[in-house]
Structure 1
């Protein structure tokens, strides 16, 4: 992919932030704005409160979210990249929907590790009208997500995963059918590794040493034993149990080097098909891996109220 590749064509943030519009919709953002060296309005992305206020403005202006907030020290996600994941999932689903971008609550999406921010369901419901089920193991994240739903009167299903070793078990119910699952997995293998990553991030920002994270984050959001390879491999293994209940399973993969062991796991699981989809924001390249157990000639049935 070209290093200058842009965000997805349908991404509302492809041309940057319209701070005049954002401040007009959320005047509180104005106190956090500043001018960069070329005189353009911006914020300090090293300031967690400024990032949180920017997110609040973006969600209000572009996605109609009147109330949004997260508890202190929870992950505060940068919105544009999260939006890209949703749009590329829509493209993936369109392949099985007569090349038409699927819209409406009949399309069911499952967000594993939805977090306190509930960011993927908020964006996906606004952009495409999909019905989301958000799952998390953290009680604080669940409480925050439920509050966002209640105060915005959103029809998003929130489920608690009570067993951390499970991904799909216990949250996909027998009658559930999902068109797509998504996940932004914890990518560090230990608390120590996450801490070292934090220190590198802060030093690169010229901040020296700090115990705080740039965008916050609880342990479960940042690390798990074995890191993202083990987490996604467990996801792949468990997904086979729900092969007929979901069209596409997907997960972000933070490191390109992690793709090969995951592809081996997919082949071992005898999936019908898999994809690696690259996404770009400026010079930063991210990606997600997608797999399905449904044969190509059976996939359209998911858009006609059926399953495998």
Structure 2
């Protein structure tokens, strides 16, 4: 029996994992399942192969993705939490769209750090039909994302960011126009902190100390100098140059304590509005910060305009 979650009401995974349905969609998942102490079917979330197979089953059963794979040791994202971000972004856009959820390819989304998994474009196109552009600094991640998109006949514009210090600079064209950007930034400030975070996760899973990552992850996916505050601060700074080309800029914020610092950074940038949206996921609460340079009375016109 599935366990009720606190995910977004439109999230297809709000009732937990229905393993019977997932195995029917992808029989290869079956050997990875096991009963938990309560007799419910689950998988060993410490097992990298099991987590990847679960993702394949979820993407096939709920999003029509027939092929999905990523290179070894790359970040294997938890699908329910990632798609929750998409649903909350749809609500954010609805505020400027007469409270109607915007759907269709006329809505343009920019995924910063799209990664090898291509998880946001996959789920976002399926849920709302949005048109995605994905940017990443890693050529291997871009190649993997291209393979996934091609195998599933998805139209995703993928761009390599060649300068690691840049976020928007160099990959956003003068005629680009986006309704929303999204980003899951590297949240650790150093490899040492990333390792400590990994060890805490394994301890919570009852495995003790380990340097392995059950969800994987390359250095660029897990940490950067200065951590997420520096990364998002750079994003805010660079967003000013394309202030009129995007309605809402957003980024996940892993640490609640960082929110006040980010508010101060946004105030200095003289944004028209900023907000923090909290997302409940089981026992955990995550959040994203959103900002715009476009005045409130102009946002509906931006939504109605043709994105180029």
Q: TM-score, normalised by structure 1?
A: 0.97
Asked whether 1:22 is paired with 2:22, we answer: yes
199-208 vs 34-43, greater mean Cα deviation: 199-208
What residue is the counterpart of 1:265 in the other structure?
A: 265
Asked whether 1:91 is paired with 2:94, we answer: no
Map of 1:88-237 to 2, 5 A cutoff? 88-237=88-237
What are the superposed Cα offsets for residues 270-294 of structure 1, whole Å, 9 maximum, x if unpaired? 0000010000111100000000000
- Provide closer, same or farther for how the CA distance between residues 70 and 166 of structure 1 changes in structure 2, counting only shifts above 3 A: same
- Provide closer, same or farther for how the CA distance between residues 306 and 151 of structure 1 changes in structure 2, counting only shifts above 3 A: closer
CA RMSD of aligned residues (A): 1.2
What are the superposed Cα offsets for residues 72-130 of structure 1, whole Å, 9 maximum, x if unpaired? 10000101110110000000000111111000000000000000000000000000000
In the aligned structure 1, how far is the partner of 2:211 from the partner of 2:84? 30
What are the superposed Cα offsets for residues 29-61 of structure 1, whole Å, 9 maximum, x if unpaired? 001001111111111111111010000000000
Give 1:208 deviation, angstroms: 3.2
What residue is the counterpart of 2:280 in the other structure?
A: 280
SS at match of 2:37: coil
SS at match of 1:133: strand
- Provide closer, same or farther for how the CA distance between residues 5 and 22 of structure 1 changes in structure 2, counting only shifts above 3 A: closer
In the aligned structure 1, how far is the partner of 2:209 from the partner of 2:21? 36
SS at match of 1:303: helix
In the aligned structure 2, how far is the partner of 1:290 from the partner of 1:199? 31
What residue is the counterpart of 1:238 in the other structure?
A: 238
In the aligned structure 2, how far is the partner of 1:243 from the partner of 1:5? 37
SS at match of 1:301: helix
In the aligned structure 2, how far is the partner of 1:68 from the partner of 1:24? 17
What are the superposed Cα offsets for residues 137-168 of structure 1, whole Å, 9 maximum, x if unpaired? 01110010000001001001100000010011
In the aligned structure 1, how far is the partner of 2:197 from the partner of 2:95? 38
In the aligned structure 2, how far is the partner of 1:269 from the partner of 1:231? 15
Q: Is the 8 A contact 2:106 2:306 kept in 1?
A: no
In the aligned structure 2, how far is the partner of 1:36 from the partner of 1:209? 22
In the aligned structure 1, how far is the partner of 2:202 from the partner of 2:301? 49
SS at match of 1:277: strand
Q: How many corresponding residue pairs?
A: 304
Give 1:209 deviation, angstroms: 3.3
SS at match of 2:291: strand
SS at match of 1:211: coil
Q: TM-score, normalised by structure 2?
A: 0.97
264-273 vs 37-46, greater mean Cα deviation: 37-46
Map of 1:4-15 to 2, 5 A cutoff? 6-15=6-15
In the aligned structure 1, how far is the partner of 2:43 from the partner of 2:177? 42
SS at match of 1:82: helix
In the aligned structure 2, how far is the partner of 1:200 from the partner of 1:149? 34
Runs of 4 or more consecutive aligned structure 1 residues displaced over 4 Å after TM superposition: none
Q: Is the 8 A contact 2:253 2:286 kept in 1?
A: yes
Q: Which runs of 5+ in 2 are unaligned?
A: none
